[in-house]
A and B are shown apart, each in its own frame.
Chain A
Amino acid sequence: MVDDAPAWLLFIVSLLLILGGVLALTGGVGLLRLSNFYQRTHAPSLPATLGIGCVLIASMLFFSVTSGRFVLHELLITMAVLLSAPVTAMMLNRAAIERDRRQYREDAPVPPGRPIKASPTGERNE
Chain B
Amino acid sequence: MWLMLIVLLPFLGSLCVAFLPSNSKNWEAWLAGLVAAASTVITLCYFPTIASNEVATLRYEWLPTYGLNFSLRMDGFAWLFSLLVSGIGILVVLYARYYLSEKDPIPRFFAFFLAFMGAMLGIVLSGNVIQMALFWELTSLVSFMLIGYWHHRADARRGARMSLIVTATGGLCLLVGLVLMGHVVGSYELSDILSSGDVLREHSWYLAILVLVALGALTKSAQFPFHFWLPRAMAAPTPVSAYLHSATMVKAGVFLLMRFWPVLAGTEAWSYIIGFAGLITLVMGAFVAIFQQDLKGLLAYSTISHLGLITLLLGMGTPLAAVAALFHVLNHATFKASLFMAAGIIDHESGTRDLRQLTGLRKLMPITATLAMVAAAAMAGVPLLNGFLSKEMFFAEAAGFGSGNTWLPTLAVIAGALSVVYSLRFITEVFFGPVPSGELPKTPKEPPRWMRFPIEMLVVLCIVVGTMPGVTVAPALNLAVHHMLGAYTPEYSVQIWHGFNLPLLMSVLAFGFGLVLYFLLQRRYGISRLDKVPLLHRLDGQREFERVLLAVTSFAVRVEEKLTSERLQPQLFWLLLVTLVVGGLTVWRSPIEAVRSPIGFEPMFAVLWIVGGVCAVAAAYQAKHHRLAALILMSATGIVVSLTFALFSAPDLALTQAAVEVVTTVLILLGLRWLPKRLTPDVTGVKATLRDYRRRIRDGLLAVAIGLGMAATTYMVLMSAGPTKLTDFFIQHALPEGGGTNVVNVILVDFRGFDTFGEITVLGVVALTIYALLRRFRPAPESIELPAQRLGDIKNVAPWQLARRGYLAIPAIYFRALMPVLVLLALYFLYRGHNLPGGGFVAGLTLTVALVLQYMVSGTLWIEAKLRIRPHQWLGSGILLALLTGVGAWLFGYPFLTSHTAVVNLPLLGELHLPSAFLFDIGVFALVVGASSLLLIALAHQSLRSHRRHFSGKPPTLRKRGAMRWS
Interface residues of A (CB under 8 A from B): 83-84, 87, 90-91, 94-95, 98, 101-102, 105, 122, 124-126
* Complex contacts, A91 vs chain B, CB 8 Å: 811
A83-B814, A102-B788, A102-B792 known; A122+B805 contact, CB < 8 A: no
* Complex contacts, A102 vs chain B, CB 8 Å: 788, 791-792
User: Contact: B797 with A124, CB < 8 Å?
Assistant: yes
A102-B791, A102-B792, A124-B797 known; A87+B810 contact, CB < 8 A: yes
Q: Give complex CA distance A102, B788 in Å.
A: 9
Task: Identify which of A102, A122, A124 gathers the most chain B CB atoms within 10 Å of its CB.
Answer: A124
Closest to B815 in A: A87
Partner of B805, one of A84, A87, A94, A126: A126
Partner of B794, one of A83, A87, A105, A124: A124
Task: Identify which of B788, B792, B801, B807 gathers the most chain A CB atoms within 10 Å of its CB.
Answer: B807
Q: Give complex CA distance A84, B815 in Å.
A: 9
User: Contact: A84 with B814, CB < 8 Å?
Assistant: yes
> Secondary structure at chain B's binding surface: helix, strand, loop or mixed?
helix
User: Contact: B805 with A98, CB < 8 Å?
Assistant: no
| 0/1 interface trace, chain B 805-821, chain A, CB 8 Å (1 if under) | 11100110010000000
Instruction: Return B474 CB to nearest CB of chain A, in Å.
Output: 98
Instruction: Return B179 CB to nearest CB of chain A, in Å.
Output: 69
Residue B165 interfacial (CB < 8 Å): no
* Complex contacts, A101 vs chain B, CB 8 Å: 792
Residue B802 interfacial (CB < 8 Å): yes
Since A98-B789, A124-B802, A124-B807 are in contact, a sample of 10 more A-B pairs with Cβ atoms closer than 8 Å, ordered by chain A residue number, is A83-B814, A84-B814, A87-B811, A90-B810, A91-B811, A105-B792, A122-B807, A124-B797, A125-B805, A126-B805
Q: Give complex CA distance A48, B253 in Å.
A: 85
Instruction: Return A28 CB to nearest CB of chain B, in Å.
Output: 13
Instruction: Return B576 CB to nearest CB of chain A, in Å.
Output: 37
A87-B814, A124-B797, A124-B802 known; A94+B792 contact, CB < 8 A: no
Q: Give complex CA distance A102, B794 in Å.
A: 12
Q: Give complex CA distance A16, B251 in Å.
A: 96
Q: Give complex CA distance A125, B805 in Å.
A: 7
Closest to B807 in A: A94
User: Contact: A124 with B791, CB < 8 Å?
Assistant: no
Closest to B790 in A: A98
A101-B792, A102-B788, A102-B791 known; A124+B814 contact, CB < 8 A: no
Partner of A124, one of B788, B806, B811: B806
Q: Give complex CA distance A22, B150 in Å.
A: 84
* Complex contacts, B788 vs chain A, CB 8 Å: 102
Q: Give complex CA distance A105, B811 in Å.
A: 26
Instruction: Return B254 CB to nearest CB of chain A, in Å.
Output: 82
29 contacts between A and B (CB under 8 A): A83-B814, A84-B814, A87-B810, A87-B811, A87-B814, A90-B810, A90-B811, A91-B811, A94-B807, A95-B789, A98-B789, A98-B792, A101-B792, A102-B788, A102-B791, A102-B792, A105-B792, A122-B807, A124-B793, A124-B794, A124-B797, A124-B802, A124-B805, A124-B806, A124-B807, A125-B805, A126-B801, A126-B805, A126-B806
Closest to B818 in A: A83
Of residues 794 to 838 in B, which have CB atoms within 8 Å of A's CB atoms? 794, 797, 801-802, 805-807, 810-811, 814
Q: Give complex CA distance A125, B806 in Å.
A: 7
* Complex contacts, B792 vs chain A, CB 8 Å: 98, 101-102, 105
Closest to B789 in A: A98
- Top 4 closest pairs, chain A to chain B, by CB: A124-B806, A87-B814, A94-B807, A87-B811
Instruction: Return A112 CB to nearest CB of chain B, in Å.
Output: 22
* Complex contacts, B811 vs chain A, CB 8 Å: 87, 90-91
Instruction: Return B940 CB to nearest CB of chain A, in Å.
Output: 19
Q: Give complex CA distance A83, B817 in Å.
A: 11
Q: Give complex CA distance A122, B806 in Å.
A: 8
Closest to A79 in B: B821
* Complex contacts, A94 vs chain B, CB 8 Å: 807
Closest to A124 in B: B806
* Complex contacts, B791 vs chain A, CB 8 Å: 102
Q: Give complex CA distance A95, B788 in Å.
A: 12
* Complex contacts, B793 vs chain A, CB 8 Å: 124
Q: Give complex CA distance A126, B467 in Å.
A: 103
Q: Give complex CA distance A87, B814 in Å.
A: 8
Q: Give complex CA distance A87, B816 in Å.
A: 13
Instruction: Return B353 CB to nearest CB of chain A, in Å.
Output: 76
Q: Give complex CA distance A109, B696 in Å.
A: 35
Q: Give complex CA distance A101, B789 in Å.
A: 11
Q: Give complex CA distance A86, B789 in Å.
A: 22
Instruction: Return A60 CB to nearest CB of chain B, in Å.
Output: 20
Of residues 754 to 791 in B, which have CB atoms within 8 Å of A's CB atoms? 788-789, 791
Q: Give complex CA distance A124, B801 in Å.
A: 10
* Complex contacts, B789 vs chain A, CB 8 Å: 95, 98
* Complex contacts, A90 vs chain B, CB 8 Å: 810-811
Instruction: Return A124 CB to nearest CB of chain B, in Å.
Output: 5
